Amino acid sequence: MFIAAGMLAGISVLFFILGRNQGRKAGNMRGIETSMAAEIGETAKAVADEIGAGSFSRQAELKGKAECDQPLRSEMAGQPCVWYKCTVTREYEENRMERDSDGRSHSQTHRGSETVSSSERRVPFMLRDASGDILVDPEGAKVDGEQVLSRYEAGDRGTSITIGGFSVSIGQGGLGRNTLGYKMEEWILPLGKDLYVLGEARDDGGQLRIAKPTEKGARFFISVKSEEALIGSARKGEMILSILSGVFMAGAALLATLKLFRVS
């Protein structure tokens, strides 16, 4: 029982840490004022004139639309974008031998899924607001994109479907698993869509840009959601995780108390 209590306590600590992280995320967004592209450019130029190019660096929050002369085309939906991620998940069923409460063996059918393909690409782009534009280098950013595809393809044994230009057979999978079908999903950062960007503005390398922060622990993410929606989601996540942390810790304390009473 002490082992179970320890496991519950460990889960409680994990939920507590995750909740704190969501709270810090909301605090970061609230604590940084939204900047305009032109204002960042003027500040960077003033710093360069004063102490030299490559000296400007600060955390920045911007809102604007993505522009790109050579955008990507998403693999599945074929939409122009500056970032995309697509996944293919195989859904299957398999028979397992299990024992019932009387010790008798019987076959039980279980359903499951596994990711069989996942790809992600991104390119630098210009973020344009009412004052002008600024380069965004999305490498290393956590991206919250817009889902443009969610499709399930089922089929009988021996049939095939086309996924991203590749033919995939539907039928018997590995390890005795029978494939039921494939779920295809894709997310993008589309051109012309309002984006929220939180990262580091700096002018090292000869060009002013928003990029992955050099400071450890600083956040860098790009989202199609508004700042208000992101803060609300983070606050909700913090509250739910805090409640779960308390519930699991209470469970751990209860099990430990019961064990102590039994020992005594």
Q: Note the pLDDT tens digit of each residue in 230-258.
A: 776 767 777 777 787 777 777 666 666 76
Q: What 3-state class would DSSP assign to 52?
A: coil
CB count in 10 Å sphere of residue 50: 9
Are the C-beta atoms of 186 and 89 separated by less than 8 Å?
Answer: no
Q: Which secondary-structure segment (H or E) carries 94?
A: strand 80-99
- Alpha helical stretches, state H, the chain: 2-31, 37-51, 227-263
Helix (H) or strand (E) holding 121: strand 105-122
User: Contact at 8 Å (CB) between 93 and 104?
Assistant: no
Higher pLDDT, 235 or 207: 207
Question: What pLDDT shows up at residue 108?
Answer: 75
**Is-contact 2 256, C-beta < 8 A?**
yes
What pLDDT, in 10s, does the model give residues 34-76?
Answer: 899 999 999 999 998 888 888 899 999 999 999 999 999 999 9
Tokens of 197: 């960007």
Instruction: Identify the CA nearest to 136 among candidates 223, 227, 222, 40.
Output: 222
127 vs 93 pLDDT, higher one: 127
CA distances to 110, 203, 261 from 209, rounded to whole Å, are 50, 6, 63
Average pLDDT, stretch 100-109?
69
Q: Which of 80, 70, 72, 68 lies closest to 125, judged by CA?
A: 68
Q: Which of 29-33, 112-116, 254-258 has the lowest mean pLDDT?
A: 254-258
Domain limits of the chain?
Answer: 2-263
pLDDT at 261 over 60: yes
